[in-house]
Chain A
Amino acid sequence: MSQTFSKQDFKLIKEVKLGNKPIHRGYAMRTLYVNVGSQEIKDKPVSEDMKQRFIGGKGFGLKLLWDGTKPATKWNDPENEIVIAMGPVCGNTNYPGSGKSLVVSLSPMTGVPIDSNVGGFFGPYLKFGGWDALELQGKAAVETIVFIDSNEGIVQLYESPAGIEQDTHLLAEQLTHAFAVDEKDLQSIAVVSAGRGADHSPMGLLNFSLYDKRRQGIRVKQAGRGGIGTVLRNKKIRAVVGRFGGVSQNLNDAADPAAVQRVGLKLHREIVVNDDKQCKMRKQGTAHLMEVMNDYDLLPTKNHKYGQDPKGPELASWVWEKLFSQNLPDGCWFGCTMACAHAVDHFLLETGPYKGTKVCVDGPEYETAAGVGSNLYVYDPHGILELNFYCDTYGIDTISFGTTTGFLMECWEHGILNLERTDGIDLTWGNWQGAAQILHDMADGKRFGVLAGRGVKFLADYFAKEYGADAQFLKDIALHGKGLEQSEYISKESLAQQGGYYLTNKGPQHDEAWLIFMDMVNNRIPTFENKAEALHYFPMFRTWFGLQGLCKLPWNDVEPADNAKHAEPNKVPEHVDNYRELYEAITGQALSWEGMIRMSEKVYNFQRCFNVRQGGGRRQDDYPPYRAMGPVLEDEYEARAERYDKQMQEKIGVDPAGKSTAEKVKITRQFRFKQYDSLIDAVFKRRGWTQDGCPTPEHLKNIGMDLPEVLAVVEARIAGQA
């Protein structure tokens, strides 16, 4: 460990005692506001109307962000906020996956609200101090550390001292020791931080720490998407530190604590019995997906050009299982027996400033192993671990970085980039050391690292303008929606998943809907209306997790043994009922399945209206780049010629015989865009939106999100004034 600090070494700038407030039925009914610029620190009451309409978690976050910003607010304006909100179910220790925080901000990548779901101890600890959410606003004059002591009810601003580390694996360790009262208090500290990469790139993330007693050190989970770490650093916040000691079973003051235990224990037991036969989350985490995706031609390979490679098994789940330390309770919150937050311990770094040191690598999760692995044609687990570690400690999103680097490597393959343009970095497929060098240069603020860190939307334009490269080709292979890089599943052969990615509020992230198997493999949603219904139900259902402070994984990464017997196994009905029961047990409020969806509909539509308010939320914002829809290149077509030719014959009604590959690529492309247009029509209709993607006033009234300020935004858009 590097230099040690104690709290006394930090210069106190401001201290406010707001007191601790017990939770009642899952809610504190107040939020914490901290302006690091003006140094104003205050509490804000949560009204009954806010609770009913916005529920909690992401709903509260978006509501506070809406109120705190203006239509013209940009991500780097002082008034932009980072809101960390938990939700009423968050913090219970009985039901697996109940420790999530939802972080929202105006994204540096998209300009519209981003929401990111993260584990770690910070959110629950904040909640136990009597806060439903934390709002961070303003820009500090000096590097600042925000300290929230949930036991003492004190909020402090400190000047970050000279000599303190900047990269998370060291910084969070230093701060954990500095703010812990003694050794026993180490697990009471949780740190939110970014890293040097986030100083130079809009794809900066937030690391949320948890102190791991067995490893005697910090672990980190990431609010990865959309650049919230960049916003943190732009505010000159070095870190936000939370402290709470004394976690116990019913700090949520549940209406029926025994019911919380009962439903939690039921799932614990299900996981203990079924996990080893199903997803093996307890041994492999989400990396269990690697060979499954490769087998189904869904594992991104060479910038999503292909979904499969003979080398795929080199990154299979069993490889990761051997590398992960086994039999440890690796949950990111207490009581999560799914325990998917695995780590590779004693990992010896080979590159960068920490070369030669042994570290604990958190992960890789599936998205990382795919994004910086197969997508870069990297099949060396060591390379993936190295990139995983440096992304985390520098505060860089592995998904955006992986997708961007895949784009850069494809540009290299096509001669758009060369050693001169990359400042000497060889970006041949598979060269993970080259990818690592981009990261190190990003952290150091060097030219090409900073340029690469801008993300694919910017780079596609830049390479066309600066290097005279084919603008359409670059646009086709730049995998982003609204400026956010696509996450790591091949969506080409599933129209529904193209919608699942791109008909989203924040951009192409798989947390709204994952429909590939339903659509492509099992053909359960063949019509546009079927797909539209799925693109209504699943995004709404999944939004509910974010309102409550829950993780999605225990919903369908373990299933009851008899799940397949139900009429709609994709919904995992027994688990949906668990959630309904859990919510009722904690809040004391009755809830039906329809009620769950309605809760989400309100917040989902509010978020869409927020996009509209910021100038987005139009149909044109919801189109994928063609790489996400079909074969861009002739060799890409030819590699799957049998599939595409068959589709041409059967679906398009055109005989491929005698046609050149170029012609067939063009015909397929036209057809797929047309299909996507029809999908948008059906989805917007199902969601109660205009054909330009704006929620209608009638729909907002129907779902109970007819706040005057929201109606004003959509009415102005529909009238063509905004």
Chain B
Amino acid sequence: MIKYLKLHDDKCVGCMTCTATCSRLYAKLDNPAKSRLQVNPLGAGKFHLIACDQECRKCVAECPTQAISVNSQGVVLINKSLCVGCLACVAVCPIDAMRFFPGESTPYKCVACGACVKTCPKDALEIGSKEDGPASQQYQEFAAVAQGART
């Protein structure tokens, strides 16, 4: 199973409460650029929310130090002590959910903690769960090919 932040663009009004909650929690200041969740205005009162779907795991496969892993709830986490700050994960993320702040050494991403869900006034966010699919398993299959390469 995969725990993830389910996004309802149709309910979002762009109040930025979620980004404030997130950046305060993790970066100790209200700065949307440091939020793990992004609110992108599309115009005409519409918004597009971006947060890691915890599913594609391209970043897990790409990380050269295995600093990015998947926990028992299916959430993709970064171990900052192993991260070398190369930003390869940022480059391979297909939806720009892997974030970094210029000059700071490690990237960050949504870990589906649910803090923003509690503060969103419009129910545009919820913690969801979904089944593992082929994409979410791939990173393990890639690594398995090389394991035990010697006898």
Interface residues of A (CB under 8 A from B): 1, 93-94, 187, 212-217, 247-250, 257-258, 261-262, 264-265, 268-269, 271-272, 325-329, 331, 334-337, 343, 345-346, 357-360
- Provide the B123-151 mask, 1 if CB < 8 A to any CB of A, else 0: 00000000000000010001101111111
B105–A328 touching, CB < 8 Å: no
B85–A268 touching, CB < 8 Å: no
Q: A214 vs B143: C-alpha distance in the bound complex, in angstroms?
A: 6
A213–B86 touching, CB < 8 Å: no
Q: A720 vs B66: C-alpha distance in the bound complex, in angstroms?
A: 61
Q: A703 vs B129: C-alpha distance in the bound complex, in angstroms?
A: 66
A359–B84 touching, CB < 8 Å: no
Other than the known A248-B85, A268-B87, what 12 A-B pairs have Cβ atoms closer than 8 Å? A94-B85, A214-B147, A247-B84, A268-B90, A325-B145, A327-B61, A327-B142, A331-B64, A335-B88, A343-B146, A343-B149, A357-B151
Residues of chain B within 8 A (CB-CB) of A358 are 149-151
B-side interface size class? 20 to 34
Q: A329 vs B59: C-alpha distance in the bound complex, in angstroms?
A: 10
Nearest B residue to A358 via CB reads B151
Nearest B residue to A344 via CB reads B149
B86–A345 touching, CB < 8 Å: no
Q: A329-B64, A337-B91 are in contact. Are A262 and B102 (CB under 8 A)?
A: yes
B142–A1 touching, CB < 8 Å: no
Q: A310 vs B70: C-alpha distance in the bound complex, in angstroms?
A: 48
> Does B9 sit within 8 A of A, measured CB to CB?
no
Nearest A residue to B142 via CB reads A327
Residues of chain A within 8 A (CB-CB) of B92 are 268, 272, 337
Q: A324 vs B102: C-alpha distance in the bound complex, in angstroms?
A: 35
A265–B150 touching, CB < 8 Å: no
22 contacts between A and B (CB under 8 A): A94-B87, A213-B65, A214-B66, A217-B150, A248-B85, A250-B105, A257-B103, A268-B87, A268-B92, A271-B91, A327-B142, A328-B145, A329-B61, A329-B62, A329-B63, A335-B84, A336-B64, A337-B62, A343-B149, A346-B148, A358-B151, A359-B150
A217–B85 touching, CB < 8 Å: no
Residues of chain B within 8 A (CB-CB) of A214 are 66, 143, 146-147
A93–B103 touching, CB < 8 Å: no
> Does B47 sit within 8 A of A, measured CB to CB?
no
B100–A337 touching, CB < 8 Å: no
Q: A217 vs B103: C-alpha distance in the bound complex, in angstroms?
A: 33
Residues of chain A within 8 A (CB-CB) of B100 are 261, 265
- Provide the B47-83 mask, 1 if CB < 8 A to any CB of A, else 0: 0000000000000011111100000000000000001
B146–A261 touching, CB < 8 Å: no
Least CB distance, B98 to chain A, in whole angstroms: 11
Q: A94 vs B63: C-alpha distance in the bound complex, in angstroms?
A: 13
A328–B143 touching, CB < 8 Å: yes
A249–B91 touching, CB < 8 Å: no
A360–B150 touching, CB < 8 Å: yes
Nearest A residue to B89 via CB reads A268
Q: A329 vs B63: C-alpha distance in the bound complex, in angstroms?
A: 7
Q: A247 vs B87: C-alpha distance in the bound complex, in angstroms?
A: 14
A359–B149 touching, CB < 8 Å: yes
Q: Which of B61, B84, B147, B150 contacts A249 (CB 8 A)?
A: B84
Least CB distance, A634 to chain B, in whole angstroms: 48
Q: A214-B147, A217-B149 are in contact. Are A261 and B62 (CB under 8 A)?
A: no
A326–B142 touching, CB < 8 Å: yes
Residues of chain B within 8 A (CB-CB) of A248 are 83-85, 105
Least CB distance, A270 to chain B, in whole angstroms: 9
Least CB distance, B99 to chain A, in whole angstroms: 12
A250–B85 touching, CB < 8 Å: yes
Q: A272 vs B89: C-alpha distance in the bound complex, in angstroms?
A: 11
A264–B145 touching, CB < 8 Å: no
Least CB distance, A455 to chain B, in whole angstroms: 31
Q: A212 vs B66: C-alpha distance in the bound complex, in angstroms?
A: 10
Residues of chain B within 8 A (CB-CB) of A249 are 84-86, 105-106
